[in-house]
Amino acid sequence: MNATEDRTGDAADRHVPVLLQRCVDLLAPALTEPGAVLVDCTLGMGGHTEGVLEQIPTAHVIGIDRDPEALRLASERLARFGDRFTPVHAVYDEIADVVAEHTHGGPTPGAAQGVLMDLGVSSLQLDETDRGFAYAQDAPLDMRMDPTRGQTAADVLNTYDERELARILREYGEERFAPKIARAIVRRRESAPWERSGDLVDLLRATIPAATRKTGGHPGKRTFQALRIEVNGEIEVLERAVPAAIEVLAVGGRIVVESYHSLEDRIVKRAIQRGTTSSAPPGLPVEPETHKPYLEALTRGAETADEPEIERNPRSASVRLRAARRLRPTPDHLRDSHDQRSRPVQGNPRKHQARKEDRR
C-alpha cells in the first residue's frame, strides 16, 4: 500500500488506544447528564473518543488536535455519531477558548464535565514515514505535529548551538551522551545541512558506544524523542494546558491524563497535587474553607498498564495514568496563579475553528 492509500485508511485499523476501558470508566461518572461535554485534548485518530461515544450515550465530545490529517481521519471514523462529536483545529493549551466557544449547551455552559489527554506522538504520525517521526524509516527531518506551521527538526539541527542541542537531548530525551551527540551534529552540519532522518540515525550509531547500543534499544530513540518535543513545544504547551484544563472543569468534572515521559508525568503530578493539597498555613487549628483542596485524586499515584494490555498494545508499556475530580471551584487566591501559568503565548496565530466540513 502506498503512502497516499495509507493516509486514507480506516483510522480504527491503524490505532489501538492505550488503557481505553480504564479511561472510559474514570470519565463515565462525570458524563451521565444529557449533553455532558468531554474535551479530548489529543484527539489523534479518535480511539478514546470513539470509546466514550459508544459507551456513554449522554456524552458529547469536543476533539482537539493540531494535526489537520488527524482531524480528517478521526472525523471520518466518528461520523456515525453526528453532532455528538465536534472536531477543533487547535493546540490543547487553547482549551479555555475552545470550551468557551463550543459549550453553549450541556449541563454547565462554558465548562466541561471531562477532560482527557493522551500525550506524546500519535500512531498516525509514526505511521506516516514522510513526517520524519520514526527513526526506523528514512524521511525528511520534519516532526511537526501541525505540518502547516513552525520550525522543523532540520531547523533545530541546523541552527541551534551545541550547548542548546545538548540541553534538549539531555532534558527531553534523557540521553546520557547528549554532549557528544550535540558536538557531532554541529560538526556534521559544517559540511552539509541536516535534511534526512536516515543521516541522523547513521550519526547516532557512529557516536553512541557499541556496548550501550546493545542494551539501550535503538540509538535514535532518545534523540528523536527530544527533537519531537522541542519542535512541537510539548513541555511548554503541557505546562499551560494542565492548569487550564483543570480550570474548565465544572464541579464534579474529571480529568484523565496519560503520560509517556517523566517530564510530562511530573507536570501532571504537580498540577494535581496542587489541587489535592490544602493551601492553609501549617498550624491553623481550623482549616479555612477557602484553603481546602479543590481536587480529589482518583488514582493512587500513577497507574501503569498490566501485562495483557502491553501485549495487546506495546505503546502502553511506558504509560503513566493520573486522574482527578473537581470538588469545588478553585479559590481566588490560587486561581490567579493558575491563570498566569495556563495562558497561551500572546500573539499565538493558531486558530480554533470547528471543522464542520470534516463531520460530513
Please list, in sequence order, all residues whose beta carbon lies within 8 angstroms of the beta carbon of residue 129, skipping any fewer than 6 positions away. 3, 137, 139
For the record, the C-alpha cell of 322 comes out as: 493520573
Distance CA 66, CA 43 (A): 9
Distance CA 141, CA 63 (A): 28
Please list, in sequence order, all residues whose beta carbon lies within 8 angstroms of the beta carbon of residue 280, skipping any fewer than 6 positions away. 287, 288, 291, 292
Is 46 assigned to a binding site?
Answer: yes
Radius of gyration (Cα) for the chain, nearest Å? 21
Is 113 assigned to a binding site?
Answer: no
Is 65 assigned to a binding site?
Answer: yes
Distance CA 254, CA 165 (A): 38
For the record, the C-alpha cell of 57 comes out as: 450515550
Distance CA 323, CA 269 (A): 10
In angstroms, the Cα distances linking 302 to 86, 225, 231, 257, 258 are 30, 22, 27, 10, 9
Is 47 assigned to a binding site?
Answer: yes
In angstroms, the Cα distances linking 304 to 6, 115, 256, 312, 313 are 31, 19, 13, 14, 13
Closest CA to 352 of 106, 122, 113, 94: 94
Annotated binding site for S-adenosyl-L-methionine: 46-48, 65, 92, 118, 125
Which residues are annotated binding-site positions? 46-48, 65, 92, 118, 125
